[in-house]
Structure 1
Amino acid sequence: MSKRGFGDKIKLSSYDDMFGVESSESVDAIKGEAQIVDIPLSELHTFENHPFRVVDDESMEEMVESIKEYGVLVPAIARPRREGGYELISGHRRKRASELAGKETMPVMVKDCDDDEATVIMVDANIQRDDILISERAKAYQMKYEAMKHQGGGNGRSLATMSEEMGESQKTIQRLICIASLNENLLHMVDEKRLSLGAGLDLSFIKPEEQEIVYAVITDMKVSLSGEQTLKIKEASKKGYFNEDFLRDYLSEKKPKPRKVVFNQKKLDDYFTPDMSNEDIEKVIFQLLDEWKSKGEV
């Protein structure tokens, strides 16, 4: 990509779009109570349980080229660590791009905040990105929900506030928070659409060790799970009879294929008058079949 072309892109794109950071209003609010300094990349550490991927993809390549030419345009956000250095709250992708660009430092807004406040800032700074996986969104919502509860919001108020801030219904947020409790293998299946959201939600209610059994069995049997099957698994877990043998037997059951017979209209016209309804025709056909069966010809 030419430097001119990338420069044009920067003029046309907002900083939020390019770097996936919070709104300028939020940044300004943090700036008012934080100090901006250049910090060595080696002193910037990943946020604990950070739910968002940092991937060396095309978007990262573009960010690297931008940083090589213009530097980091929007400071990251971090807080001091007791162990030394700083914990990144927002800016993990910018740090990676700076490393790839050969930089040794990057501008950072250093803010003193507790775990809950840092978690809320971290989630809000990343959640609006377009490339977020279902598992990332689910884990982020779960982390923010727990942080808001610790801050004294209460369950209902936390969900209501999150719904308003995220632009999603409380029901959707609740479902995603539940899905976050799936083990990594099943979450990966949801991300890849090999397991539906509804099926993932059902499995999120069973015990962690039972989730391990589910993944091991469906992987070994090379089968996918329908919503009907995950509902049955959830029911078996709730009633206490779920185990590997039950699951293998249940998934091995051969269900009869549904049968549907469609009659040719022209052929039916040879036997039935035009004034007869579909119900009348069906009634006559089954009467004839019953007579045929009674004669032992079936």
Structure 2
Amino acid sequence: MAKATKKQALGRGLSALLKDPENDIQSVSDKNADKVIGNVVELEIDSIEMNPFQPRSNFNDEALEELASSIRELGIIQPITVRKLDFNKFQLVSGERRYRASKLVGLETIPAYIRIANDQESLEMALVENIQRQDLDPIEIALSYQRLIDEIQITQEKLSDRVGKKRSTITNYLRLLKLHPIIQTGMRDGFISMGHGRALINIDKKKEQIAVYEKVVSDGLSVRETERLVKSLKEPQGESNPTKKEAKKVPSFATKGADALKEYLSAKVDITASASGKGKIVIPFHSEEEFQRIKKIVTGE
């Protein structure tokens, strides 16, 4: 208990330091910067503004009330992170749920880590930290990935290293943004899962996407049932279907190998093979960029 009191007192002492005009810290090289930057400081909530780069746009009211109740009983266990904008003025980098819940409770101050960062660094910190959270829906994650790629000018390979996810995982999320907006909204609202969305992506026409989506929701179809429905729509109709007959003759080693290649290349892979083991692999691409990406993976150059 004594340690907690000492820590709180220290945070308040640093807060007073930040309010001293003679100690207006603007960079890590300024006097007393080492006492503040990276440390937990008690900041007035009114001195913190929202982050315009915040990727989260949906907040569950019930979950927010539960967090507010927890803060009311136990206080804030994990400090928020802010960046210094001006004298006694800060901007939220991460921890918006804690910030919102603290305001609901009526707290006047909140513990915060202080960083000095420009807009691009702030955007990257906010996006990367929020991507790691477990309560973002698939579309929010996809939008965060896309913003990092567009605004930070980062490749999927580098993004993979930055967020600790496989490049194929990132690609699968980004593909969700090709879905019709109504379907994206349905995924955000929990009517369908990411697995359903990945199946629906294979339908090229948006009107057909919507028609299948409505059937999935109304009939409560599982992901596997949705995949079979989409596959049936894409297969040629009629009694004679040579493509389907050939597919049945593909040896199991080729079928399993195709799944592994699809995952590794994050691309469609078509394999035909005879019972003797002879066959061919076809990897379609839709742009020079995609071709170069596949080539780099295959050749390592």
TM-score by length of 1: 0.50
Q: Could you say which structure has the larger radius of gyration?
A: 1
